[in-house]
Amino acid sequence: MSGFYFRKARVSFDCQTKPFTVLHSLAFITLNYGSKDCQPKKNNVSGPALFNAPSPRLGRSLFFITGDTSKETRSAEEKQPSEFTTLPQQRCSSSSNQVKLITRSARPFTSTLAQTLSSAALADPHVDADDYEYEQADPDALLRECEEVLRNRPPRLHRDFMMTRACSLQNASIRIMQWNILAQALGEGKDGFVRCPMEALNWSERKYLILEEILTYRPDVLCLQEVDHYFDTFQPVLASLGYQSSFCPKPCSPCLDVHNNNGPDGCALFFNRRRFQLLHTAHLRLSAMMLKTNQVAIVATLRCRLTGQIFSVAVTHLKARSGWEAFRSAQGAHLLQQLCDLTTQSHLEIDVENRTRDGEEGIPLVVCGDFNAEPSEEVYRRFMTSPLGLESAYKCLSEDGNTEPLYTSWKIRPSGESRSTLDYIWYSERAFQVDAVLRIPSEEQIGPDRLPSYHYPSDHLSLSLAPNEVHSYSITAQMVCYTKA
């Protein structure tokens, strides 16, 4: 039975054999206590909240095991019910066509994440099943709900598209969005945005701002960093909009140091299940200088159901802070090597007909991430000169086509004001081309208090790319750049 493994979890409850719902720091689940086969059940939710089950009383914190949970390991663990409890993954659904976001926040619990045991691909990553039957929501109705909740906030930043070449966006294009959405625990508890009122960071409204951005551009593939509300917000809501997803938490998330956190933050990758078939998913823990690090990546290989074409998408978040440039470079080198291995013909056993016309092995690649690195850093040069043949989509915004934007992050902290370019979408130049980009808002649009703010929910830019076929792949790329402080 698939599920999550917790060490020394202890739950207080009053029922004997009745079903009860547990909201822990990572997921919503339904269990039949006293039953050998704990099967997941759908929550028939009605009313204004996506989840309206009561919170349990926990005897102590839950410990999430992210190490090697192979079948052999699990079978051994299942023999020790006093040490391990298996919690099945829960399908989330709504009883109406309009999915409501959580209007009252469930009680959060502080948890401690165990160390990952291996620097290789993480075992048993959380990946939604392709055959889940979610009741579909109306995206237009959900967008109107977001606008209604946010009606008292200032208007959101207005951006228009800049065409990079004479073309028309086709139905075959693939829109890809990249965004560091700012972990809620970090925004409220650690990051210290001195010019941003705490009310602006309240999750009860900020989640609507985030979802409004996603619904406005409706990407086919969505890559997110600093996600600490995956199981209770993004996974169920986006699943109702037709997305299949995967989530990889950081081994030692800084969110866990914050009181009343919602669990660890990490990277999440969503894709339109009607548009793509998932062929392969890998969760990686990045290494640097022979050390296992706290940074992770997800690599998903997708087949387009319309054209049959195959490509890989990766999402990552490298080490932050100045003084760690060499460390980030080493992380980037490790990630590039993993991407080379994962996209080769021999690794994925893809037929020879899927090779590019120029005879190169491997499949096209898109890499999204918050690299925490300026273009002057070595990790940027590593990606530019990689044998994977990657190019940065941002450059389409510049007049010479060879310069990154002045900023993708703009914030004010106690240490001062910081404006920097940290976020990138890299793509295989031999296979993809960028046709249109959404302009980055100006300094006047952002405002003197920078970001996050009442009108923008995060401190990083959101980027979106929509590919069309070039060579054996056709990619019209739109890049959507959102401003963050």
Report pLDDT digits (tens) over 93-137: 333 344 445 433 333 333 322 233 233 445 455 677 665 667 789
Q: Report which residue type is found at 212.
A: E
The burial class, CB within 10 Å (0-12 / 13-18 / 19+), for 208 is buried
- pLDDT of residue 51 exceeding 70, the answer is no
47: alpha, beta or left, given left = phi > 0 and alpha = psi -120 to 50? left
Out of 99-113, 166-180, 338-352, 373-387, pick the least confident.
99-113
Mean pLDDT of 173-197: 90
Our separate counts of H helices and E strands in the chain read 9, 27
Q: Report which residue type is found at 459.
A: D
Q: Which residues pair with 460 in a beta bridge?
A: 409
- State the SS3 of 110-169: CCEECCCCCCCECCCCEECCCCCCCCCCCHHHHHHHHHHHCCCCCCCCCCCEEECCCCCC
- The DSSP code for 3 is -
Model pTM above 0.85:
no
- Between CA 120 and CA 474 the distance in angstroms is 33
Share of the chain above pLDDT 90, in %: 48
Radius of gyration of the chain (CA): 22
pLDDT band, residue 345 (cuts 50/70/90): low
Between 385 and 467, where is the model more confident? Answer: 385
Between 356 and 49, where is the model more confident? Answer: 356
What domains lie within the chain, and their CATH numbers? 139-480 (3.60.10.10)
